[in-house]
Structure 1
Amino acid sequence: MTVTALCAGSVLCMSANASAQTPAAAKTEVCNSPWAATTTYDVDNAISYNGRNYTAVVRSQGSVPAMSSGVGNGGQPWLAGAACKPPKLTADDLDHDGHFSPATLQFLKDKTGLDGEQWDNIMKLINKPEQDSLQWTQVYGYCEDIQDDRGVTIGFFGATTGGPNDGDPDAPLLFKNFDEASGAEVPSVEGGLARIGVSGTMVGPILKIAGGTPAFCASVSALQGNEAWREAMWRTFYDVYIQLSQREAQSRGFSSALTLGSFLDTALNQGADGGKNSLMGLLSRVPTSTDEKAFMASFHAERAKVVNTQHFNKSPNGTNRVKQWSTLMIEGLSSLKNCDADVVKATSWTMK
């Protein structure tokens, strides 16, 4: 399946633009995750301590950050940064596993080796430049014809029914998977549609919906809390996007959550293959390296050149989209574990 870019700067392309927030005149930084005495920190790792952010300048463990730290202060391991304020994290923010069904959690662990915390953080980072929100679980029932000649766009990864600009859509697979997740012995696209009271036919690879888009989207929206629908969406997301992104990471010897997430975000935003600025196109231009941090620095630099072009994103949203991933990689958070504050900080930029 050739997977093309979803749309201009938004997987979901909501009809209402994300509202921009006016920054305060002197905005206080969000604190990184707190320093821990038992953790070994490498160069460029970022932490916070007593209301201030710090960056590691040498490898250390157990060295308490202090204002006198830094390269010019006796070779201490920490460079003092700006004063910061801890993010407000709710119980829901911290309940990573709670954002998935047990079946989906097990499926993702079996297929990717990543747990609920890692996948939740990946999805937060993906959702920020799409909807200016970290609440990615609120769009399982998204459905809209965004007038891009790709049919109707559905769900958190923007499955489409197909059209002149999309001759290989993924919504048919989504509905077939929905039928299967709902208990069908012989699942089919038509069976999945029938479960929501909709009729449709396949015209070649294109799914044609009877009864009009408003009625169809009302039925899809009603699936927001349907567990079988959520399960089907994750399985389709894996088949179309995650599997390819993981394959490309693993073929280079990389297994971190951040690299997979960054590749996945690129595939969703710019297309997985079939174009010079798709994920595969960008990877073809990045010099080979077995050093994951170095490779990803080159990948992010290459993506930054085009991320605000070809209707991928509005500037500077695309730049900030890439910066989320590159910053977390530089700060040594490639596992996307124990980094709730860091994810909030990385996504605290203002949508334009």
Structure 2
Amino acid sequence: MKRAALLLLTAVPAAVAAATAVYLFGLAPSDPDRTESPKPPSRQSSASAQGLNAPAKKELAQEIVASAENSTLDWRSAYGYVEDIGDGRGYTAGVIGFCTGTHDLLTLVERYTKDHPGNGLARFLPALRAVDGTDSHAGLGRAFTAAWRAEAGVAAFRAAQDAERDRVYFDPAVRLARHDGLGALGQFIYYDAMVVHGPGTDPHSLQGIRARALREADTPAEGGSETRYLDAFLDVRRTVMKSEKSHHDTTRIDTAQRRFLYDGNLDLRTPLEWRVYGERYRVP
């Protein structure tokens, strides 16, 4: 997770707050320096497809995210990943980039320890609670990073990472996208935004980005064009990424998600090709 979850319902319009409540309770302006691309033809919603919950599509989603987060399609290789990438959120670790400074890593270790007392990370819980919300390494350091890598060799910890990824990121993002009438590509676009920006309603969160996109276009659930709405969403998200020091490279949008969109691939069908950071990826 790349942002803390700030659920400030009072800071947004009533319509957005209502949509956030839907998201929470389990219901389902262009950047001026952007290189202009030809606008795609409009296409109506493909939400009738099974979407990202289909096992093959979910696997594909993890691969596309991993290409941007870890420069590989082998997303399972990231269970033992842990480092401070200098983004002000402490250590980033694991299969979806849990952070010591944004509460999600702490929650993961707490839940894992409840089910598996005495695990190799349990002794770091006091330090993780103390640094939560900061970029501090106090009480962590090399001992913590070594313990994380060692614990990643335990099947139960890998399963715990998968479960927390789904609970906090994948499932809520897909539910919200389905509520908006979006097909597999739109569901992935929400999921990737959730991974990078986190939940919440501040302007740099998934809900904040969505709220700004809704000012530009209607969702398919509101009778709008799926392509036009997703194009607006990606415009807003690109602007948000450009405003953040650690996210100036927007190729995960420019040469991946927007390429899928402009190809009319709203169902995220394979074979699929894209580029991130100049590297080419292909899933047959």
**TM-score for the superposition, normalised by structure 2:** 0.67
Q: Answer yes or no: is 1:196 the counterpart of 2:120.
A: yes
CA contact (8 A) 2:108 2:160 kept: yes
Compared CA separation, residues 139 and 244, structure 1 to 2 (3 A): same
1:197 is displaced (CA, Å) by: 6.0
Aligned to 1:143: 82
Q: Measure how far apart 1:204 and its partner are.
A: 9.7
Within-5 A mapping of 1:139-288? 139-162=78-101, 166=102, 169-179=103-113, 184=115, 191=117, 194-196=118-120, 198-202=122-126, 206=130, 212-254=140-182, 256-286=183-213, 287-288=217-218
- Structure having the higher strand fraction is 1
Letter in 2 for 1:273: G
Deviation of the 1:118 alpha carbon: 0.9
Deviation at 1:348, TM superposition (A): 6.2
Letter in 2 for 1:305: T
Provide, for residues 172-207 of structure 1, a one-character-per-residue CA deviation record: whole Å limited to 9, x for no partner: 221233346xxx3xx6xxx3xx31165134479546
User: Structure 2 vs 1, CA of residues 241 and 178 (structure 1 numbering), >3 Å: closer, same or farther?
Assistant: same
Q: Distance in 1 between matches of 2:126 and 2:234?
A: 39
Cα separation, partners in 2 of 1:2 and 1:175, compared to 1, 3 Å: same
Against the structure 1 CA distance between its residues 305 and 257, is the aligned structure 2 distance closer, same or farther, given a 3 Å change threshold? same
SS at match of 2:148: helix
Structure 1: tracts of 5 or more residues without a match? 6-43, 46-111
Post-superposition shift, 1:326? 1.9
Question: Cα gap change, 1:293/1:206 in structure 2, threshold over 3 Å: closer, same or farther?
Answer: farther
Q: 1:334 to 1:206 in 2, by over 3 A?
A: farther
Give the CA deviation at 1:138.
0.9
Letter in 2 for 1:261: F
The residue aligned with 1:328 is: 260
Counterpart in 2 of 1:127?
A: 66
Distance 1:133 1:2, change over 3 A: closer
The DSSP-based 3-state class of the residue aligned with 1:346 is: strand
How much is the aligned-residue C-alpha RMSD, in angstroms? 3.3
Residues 177, 197 of structure 1: alpha-carbon distance in 2 compared, 3 angstrom cutoff:
closer
- Amino acid aligned to 1:145: D
Mapped to 2, the partners of 1:247 and 1:115 lie a distance apart of: 13
Q: Which amino acid aligns with 1:264?
A: Y
Matches within 5 A, 1:56-71: none
Paired position in structure 1 for 2:44? none
State the distance in 2 between where 1:197 and 1:125 align: 29
Q: Give the Cα separation in 2 of the matches to 1:118 and 1:259.
A: 12
Distance 1:4 1:218 in 2: 25
Matched-pair contact (CA < 8 Å) for 1:201–1:207: no
Larger radius of gyration: 1
Rounded to whole Å, the distance in 1 between the matches of 2:234 and 2:87 is 27
Cα deviation, residue 231, structure 1: 1.2
Number of the residue aligned with 1:98: none
Give % identity. 23
The counterpart of 1:289, out of the listed 195, 198, 219, is 219
Count residues with an aligned counterpart: 225
| Cα distance in 2 for residues equivalent to 1:121 and 1:347 | 15
Q: Aligned in 2, Cα 1:348/1:113: closer, same or farther, shift over 3 Å?
A: closer
What's 2:13 paired with? none
**Equivalent AA in structure 2 for residue 125 of structure 1:** I
For the 8 Å contact 2:173–2:190, the answer to whether it is kept is yes
Pick the structure with more helix per residue.
2
> Could you say if the C-alpha distance between residues 228 and 336 of structure 1 is closer, same or farther in structure 2, counting changes exceeding 3 Å?
farther
Q: Are 1:172 and 1:207, in contact at CA under 8 Å, matched by a contact in 2?
A: no
Deviation at 1:161, TM superposition (A): 2.6
1:30-69 correspondence runs (5 A): none
Q: Is the 8 A contact 1:141 1:155 kept in 2?
A: yes
Shift of 1:139: 0.7
Q: Give, as a single letter, the amino acid of the residue that structure 2 aligns with 1:132.
A: S
Does the 8 Å contact 1:258/1:335 carry over to 2? yes
Q: Where do 5+ consecutive residues of structure 2 fail to align?
A: 6-39, 42-50, 280-284
Tell me whether 1:4 sits opposite 2:8 in the alignment.
no
Aligned position for 1:60: none
Structure 1 residue matching 2:181: 3-state secondary structure: coil
**Shift of residue 325, structure 1, vs aligned partner:** 1.2
Higher relative contact order (CA 8 A, sep 6+): 2
Change (3 A) 1:205 1:197: closer
Give CA-to-partner distance per residue, 1:18-38, whole Å, 9 cap, x none: xxxxxxxxxxxxxxxxxxxxx
